[in-house]
Amino acid sequence: MRWRFRQISDLAVLWAGHRAVPVTLVALVALWAAAGLSFSFPRQWFLLTNMMGTLIIFFILLLVQHSQNRDMVALQTKLDELIRSSKAGNHWIAAEKKEAEAIEEMRQQHHDQMPETMN
């Protein structure tokens, strides 16, 4: 089930980010407005427009957030592995899970340890 969701999510994010989508959406909005104009914009038309717009935006927002979360976890894992394999201190591993103040202290401590020529 998770594999299937990830596959569908990746496909939807790829589709939503395609360069043809804005042109298609403008055409659909023009058709939708023309249809509303031909029916003199009944109350149900406005309700349906608001409902569908909200649902589509919410759905795409969730898909993009899911994709970004997965990408960020992969990026943090790669960075942690680079830290492990380098001469950097292991205290930098999983820094993203610390409080903002602790991260700023670590950054300031690292900055203070740099030679003057690099500042």
Q: What tens digit of pLDDT does each residue of 75-101 get? A: 988 888 888 888 777 777 777 788 888
pLDDT score of 118: 56
- How many domains is the chain partitioned into structurally? 1
CA 49/CA 51 separation, integer angstroms: 6
CA distances from 37 to 24, 45, 46, 66 (A): 20, 10, 11, 38
Q: For 22-37, what is each residue's pLDDT tens digit?
A: 899 899 989 988 988 8
First-to-last alpha carbon distance for the chain, in angstroms, is: 51
Question: Is 97 contained in some domain?
Answer: no
Residue 76 lies in a domain: yes
Distances (CA, A) of 8 to 4, 55, 64, 69, 70: 6, 17, 12, 16, 14
Residue 115 has pLDDT above 70, yes or no: no
Q: Tell me whether residue 20 is in a domain.
A: yes
pTM of the shown model: 0.58
Domain with 32 in it: 2-86
Q: What is the 3-state secondary structure (H, E, C) of 41-54?
A: CCHHHHHHHHHHHH
Is residue 70 assigned to a domain? yes
Share of the chain above pLDDT 90, in %: 10
